[in-house]
A = this chain, B = another copy of it.
């Protein structure tokens, strides 16, 4: 229950990481409730009690995974959209990159969504900080008149919602072998929606 301190030795860092990765797999696969510490440590190849050397509770690993996912998503999207020379192109590249990212990390993405119920605070942080950055981008584009004037915050949430749901439907539920086509079809809506 007391907050464990960061590992001091090389062995410690390795173990902690093993457990974190195992937690990602197990919780991503089974969901928070059905995932047990026993299975996580079995998967990590350590004893049950070792878990509590590095994490104070099941909720805590979960929280860390959500935060980690926040950093990854922001990094991936920032990276993917840098080459864009217009807001609309950034939207296009961002949507594709997001869908690809979900496809590459389905477990992590499921965890983020489950956070809504397991750790609402972490969930809110994830999307709020994302939306904030998004809003800024859209505002800038509005001022440059690259896109039609409009409520940037509402747009940010609307566009995030679109991407989230498409990711869930076409990536997590499978049923689509051509993500780029999905992104193209959705982008048609976005482009006309934002264009001056």
Contacts and interface: CB of A to CB of B under 8 A. Distances in A.
Interface stretch (A43-51, A65-73, A76-84, A184-192): A184-192
B148 A192 contact: yes
Copies of this chain: 2
A88 to B, nearest CB: 13
Interface residues of A, number: 39
Q: What secondary structure prevails in chain A residues at the interface with B? A: helix
Contacts of A31: 117
A16 to B, nearest CB: 27
Interface of A: 31-33, 113-114, 116-117, 124, 127, 131, 148, 150-151, 154-155, 157-166, 169-170, 173, 182, 185-186, 188-195
28 contacts: A31-B117, A113-B116, A114-B117, A117-B117, A127-B169, A148-B188, A150-B189, A151-B185, A154-B185, A154-B186, A155-B185, A157-B165, A157-B166, A157-B169, A158-B166, A158-B186, A158-B189, A159-B162, A160-B165, A161-B162, A161-B163, A161-B164, A165-B165, A188-B193, A189-B193, A190-B193, A192-B192, A192-B193
